[in-house]
């Protein structure tokens, strides 16, 4: 298996979209990249964090790995779609 094939596996839309954009030179307007971007928040680790945003906020902003600040950082690292209102709630805390 080639490394690119591994990066293009369907299990992580963030990795696949970045691979297509930055390694394969696909346009951000391509049908596949747009489809992947619509699925970013469905990636299980992202979906789990989004489901727990209210809990993260109650842990205050800086509780290591559980608070709103860290949740926001992790969601950014995973390329979560910032148009989601739960991410906006986290952004508005700053």
pLDDT score, position 53: 93
Counting Cβ atoms within 10 Å, is residue 92 exposed (0-12), middle (13-18) or buried (19+)?
exposed
**8 lies in the same domain as 49:** no
Quick one: 73 and 52 in the same domain?
yes
What whole-number distance in Å separates Cα of residue 69 and Cα of residue 76? 11
Look up the pTM and report it: 0.82
Structure tokens belonging to residue 82? 């910032």
Same domain, 59 and 24: no
- Are 34 and 46 in the same domain? no
Same domain, 32 and 46: no
Phi, psi (degrees; rounded to nearest 5) at 65: 70, -10
Q: Is the pLDDT of residue 77 over 80?
A: yes
Q: Which residue range forms the structural domain that includes residue 9?
A: 1-38
Q: Average pLDDT in the 34-42 region?
A: 95
- What total of structural domains would you count in the chain? 2
Residues 8/16, Cβ–Cβ less than 8 Å: yes
Lowest model confidence (mean pLDDT) among 35-39, 63-67, 82-86: 63-67
């Amino acid at each position: 298996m080639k490394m690119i094939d591994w990066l293009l596996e369907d299990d992580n839309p963030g990795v696949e979209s970045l691979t297509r954009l930055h390694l394969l030179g696909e346009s951000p307007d391509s049908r596949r990249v747009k489809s992947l971007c619509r699925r970013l928040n469905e990636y299980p680790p992202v979906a789990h964090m989004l489901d727990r945003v209210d809990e993260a906020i109650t842990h205050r902003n800086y509780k290591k790995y559980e608070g709103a600040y860290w949740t926001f950082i992790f969601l950014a690292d995973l390329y979560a779609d910032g148009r989601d209102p739960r991410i906006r709630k986290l952004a508005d805390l700053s």
